[in-house]
Amino acid sequence: MITAREDQTDGSPTSKGYANYVLGVLFVVYIFNFVDRQVLSVFIGPIKEEFGASDTQMGLLVGFAFALLYTIAGIPIARWADKGNRRNIIALGLLVWSAMTVLSGFARSFMQLALARVGVGIGEAAGSPPAHSLIADYFTLDKRGTALAIYASGAFVGGALAFLAGGYLREFFNWRTAFIVVGAPGILMALIVRFTVKEPPRGMSEQRTGPAASSTFMDTLRFLLGSRAWVIMMAGYSLLSLTGYAILMWAFEFLIRVHEMDSVSAGTLMGIVVGAGGCLGSLLGGALVDRAGATRVSRAVSFPALVTITAIPFGAAFLLSDDLNVGRWCFVAFFLLLNVYIPAMFSANQNLAKLDMRATASALMLFCANIVGAGAGPLLVGALSDSFADTYGTESIRYALLCCLGIGGIGSLLLLLCSRFLEADIERAKSSA
């Protein structure tokens, strides 16, 4: 287990046991976040058929319908989190997105479903920015990469559960039942967050405090844009996110259309790949951040970026192979290696911001990554699939996904460039606090 303060074991906000408890709660919240977000991708086919939608429209539904308001709402919510009670904000957001997921199951038109997904996005905007800020206050710099990696792995556990449960529900029930089933438990979890998580003093893990007056949004934006490391990191993270979300939201449909798998088998494969591969990749990335960064801060980004570059050939083999046995092993390797960089992004982003800017810095990072990744990624796959359909028929999705794959390689190279400026810009953040 990782710890906050080794000399305390009671239930106070600084004890190692309680810090790990908070991390565990936030991990579960992030699982709920991704279950509610990801389950829609399992039902692209049935929803498309029921509402007579195109792949482009479905790309909008799984992409921008969620991501646009998710990213826009994230900034004012993060500003609130930098001034207010982060625990309460997370609990309220969880309540909202869970309720909107349940309401998605009652949609009677494509537009109603899209509006419900907008509501899910607004609620989920209250999840990660305040959670990142809380984790930064509960765990010291040398433990923060691993703590954030554990938190980040909640996305993959949630995605795995969405695929496993969704595949079963698609086979034996329907998409409406799925939304109701996966959304309802989050309402209870919101109460657990509200009444068991304590709000720590800002800067607690570093034994320092922020300025008496909180920075404004423009102060935060100007400060971060003044960091070459942060600007380049955002560009690289956004491009890698496009590749990741393109695969995450369309790979289930790829397996159904191209390999003619049944929904339970496809859901099982996706669940194993996303759950095991994603978690291992994230935890490996967290270990690299803490160990490589202990000798030289820049290596906390450069090492994970080098590992992530190696994912691209495996992704190409997964998409191009007609042998499903070969493809599934390449898929596991691809997804594991692709996600090694994520803890480095979360950790570096918190380290490059001043204490009273951390939640807003997280929201700005998610804004960049989700507009390009969660928004444009699924839409680009859908649009390319429609445009390739006359030439490639049902295999058009194969080449649409392939077009998105190389973009992640460019993103990895940008992260290597970012590492050149990381040490100086982290010192800048510390001296400006």
- In this prediction, residue 336 carries a pLDDT of 93
Q: Please state, rounded to an integer, the average pLDDT across all residues of the chain.
A: 87
Q: How far apart are CA 389 and CA 59, in angstroms?
A: 15
Mean pLDDT to the nearest integer, 323-339? 93
- In this prediction, residue 246 carries a pLDDT of 93
Q: What is the pTM of this model?
A: 0.76
Q: Where are the domains of the chain?
A: 18-201+216-432
Q: Is 6 helix (H, G, I), strand (E, B) or coil?
A: coil
List, for residues 212-252, the tens digit of each pLDDT value.
Answer: 456 788 888 899 999 999 999 999 999 999 999 999 889 99
CATH T-level fold of 18-201+216-432: Growth Hormone; Chain: A; (1.20.1250)
- In this prediction, residue 7 carries a pLDDT of 38
List, for residues 189-202, the tens digit of each pLDDT value.
Answer: 999 999 999 988 87
- In this prediction, residue 6 carries a pLDDT of 40
C-alpha distance from residue 140 to each of 269, 285, 363 (Å)? 37, 17, 21
Higher-pLDDT residue of 211, 194:
194
Mean pLDDT lowest among 30-44, 284-298, 360-374:
284-298
Q: How far apart are CA 307 and CA 330, in angstroms?
A: 15
- In this prediction, residue 69 carries a pLDDT of 80
- In this prediction, residue 362 carries a pLDDT of 80
- In this prediction, residue 51 carries a pLDDT of 93
